[in-house]
Amino acid sequence: MKKVLVATGGGDCPGLNAVIRGIVKRAAHEKDWEVWGSFEALNGLMDEPTRLIKLDEQTVAGIHVRGGTILGTTNKGNPMNYPEKQADGTIKTVNRIPWLVDRLKSHGFDAVINIGGDGSQAISQAMFEAGMPVVGVPKTIDNDLNSTDFTFGFQTAVQIATDSFDRLVTTAASHQRVMIMEVMGRNAGWIALYTAIAGGAEICLIPEIPYDLNILIDRIKGRYNQGRGFVNIVIAEGAFAKEGSITSTQGELGRHAVRLGGVCFTLSQQLKDAGVEADIRETVLGHTQRGGTPIAFDRVIASVFGVKAMELILDGKFGELVVLKNNDYTSVPIAEAISAYNFVDPKGTLVQAAKGLGISFGD
């Protein structure tokens, strides 16, 4: 009997359970494959005693509709920079990849399916280079991965953000207020852009397009002067990142600011300081965007990714990441996939269409 180990790493994301179910259901067609899960990314395998679970069709029955991941997940314990206690009590980070690959093999695993974002896929690539047959499945609600048209979880996040936006419009219109809604998107503005178009925002601020405060003020004042006395703004949490940058909200301080929902309050203060007299209110959606059941579109992508990942294992195609490209489910080398982000193109069709709809990016 051959064994494949499945792990989910990084932040949770609607659709993770649908991927796990897809893998298990496809493997069930094969007589010689067993699927195992590792709890909390690969920590379940690294821990002593191990925390592993055999996954069969009963274990995964009906889980595709559930948010989160039945395997649990974590950002901690990265085997590439593993915090190890030294004899003198100090902590040193070490590369445990060769050790991890030996451990996988000594526990009888023939292959790994690693479901996760760019950090997890860097681990996949390192394990692959160290001789482990690995297949990756991309995961991020931010949709900022270059090699796939869409990641699962993104459309669910947009739906949640749009539902919230619609509710905020009611208050904006009734109270003649400026409502600022902050959505996730650390490096890229996809969630903000889609939500602004779906919801009919007046202003959308994203990391890829630096904004001029004066242009925003003109737009806001223009709306009030026309007698349409309310404004709805969507802002991506990474909006204060430099154009095309993936660094300015990175690092512990930046991540802390993102968690505090800093940008929507900073923008609010900027508008007040610049003389906007209307009442301004701020809403940070935060992790509601990653919670709960995935919408149908994401269940489909995730389920097919799961099946496809298992098929790559059966075909012996390792070091590959499953992707959706040009409406086709295929795969690309993991090394290629993690080398570039997918940013919103400020000159692209989507931004131009949004501008056609009257959405200002402040540029």
Interacting residues with ligand F6P (CB under 6 A):
11, 75, 140-142, 184-186, 237, 258-259, 290
Q: How far is the CB of 207 from ligand F6P (least distance, A)?
A: 11
Closest separation in Å from C-beta 43 to ligand F6P: 16
Catalytic: 279?
Answer: no
User: Do the annotations mark residue 120 as ligand-binding?
Assistant: yes
Interatomic CA distance for residues 321 and 86, integer angstroms = 36
Q: Which amino acid is at 146?
A: N
Is 202 a known ligand-binding residue? no
Residue 171 is assigned to a ligand binding site: no
Q: Report the residue number whose CB is nearest to ligand F6P.
A: 184
Residue 155 Cβ, how far from ligand F6P at the closest point, in Å?
Answer: 14
d(C-alpha 306, C-alpha 127), whole Å: 20
Angle of CA points 346, 347, 349, to nearest 5°: 105
Nearer to ligand F6P, 28 or 122 (CB): 122
- Tell me whether residue 159 is annotated as binding: no
Are the C-beta atoms of residues 8 and 116 closer than 8 Å to each other?
Answer: yes
Closest approach of Cβ 245 to ligand F6P, in Å? 14
- Annotated catalytic residue: which of 142, 218, 273, 298? 142
Instruction: Report the distance separating Cα 169 and Cα 131, nearest Å.
Output: 54
Buried b (16+ CB within 10 A) or exposed e, 144-163: bbebbebbbbbbbbbbbbbe
59 is in an annotated binding site: no
Find the shortest distance in angstroms from Cβ 253 to ligand F6P: 13
| Minimum CB distance to ligand F6P, residue 186 (Å) | 4
| CB nearer ligand F6P, residue 29 or residue 259 | 259
In angstroms, the CA 166 to CA 181 distance is: 11
Tokens coding 285: 């959606």
Our CB check for ligand F6P shows the closer of 156 and 232 to be 156
Nearer to ligand F6P, 32 or 252 (CB): 252
**Helices first, then strands: H and E counts in the chain:** 12, 13
Q: Which is nearer to ligand F6P, 11 or 68 (CB)?
A: 11
Q: Does 363 appear as a known binding residue?
A: no
CA distance 25 to 339: 31
**What whole-number distance in Å separates Cα of residue 134 and Cα of residue 335?**
12
Q: Which residue has the tokens 């968690």?
A: 259
Core vs surface per residue 24-35: b (16+ CB within 10 A) or e: bbbbeeeeebbb
Cβ 129 vs Cβ 313: under 8 Å: no
Q: Are 133 and 334 in contact (CB under 8 A)?
A: no
Which residue lies nearer to ligand F6P by CB, 229 or 291?
A: 291
Tell me if 302 sits within 8 A of 63, measured CB to CB: no
47 is in an annotated binding site: no
d(CA 233, CA 356): 17
Any known ligand binding at 185?
yes
Half-sphere exposure of 193 (CA within 13 A, CB side): 27
Distance CA 5, CA 55 (A): 10
Binding site per annotation, positions = 11, 76-77, 117-120, 140-142, 177, 184-186, 237, 281, 287-290
| Residues assigned a catalytic role | 142
Binding site per annotation, positions for Mg(2+) = 118
Binding site per annotation, positions for ATP = 11, 76-77, 117-120
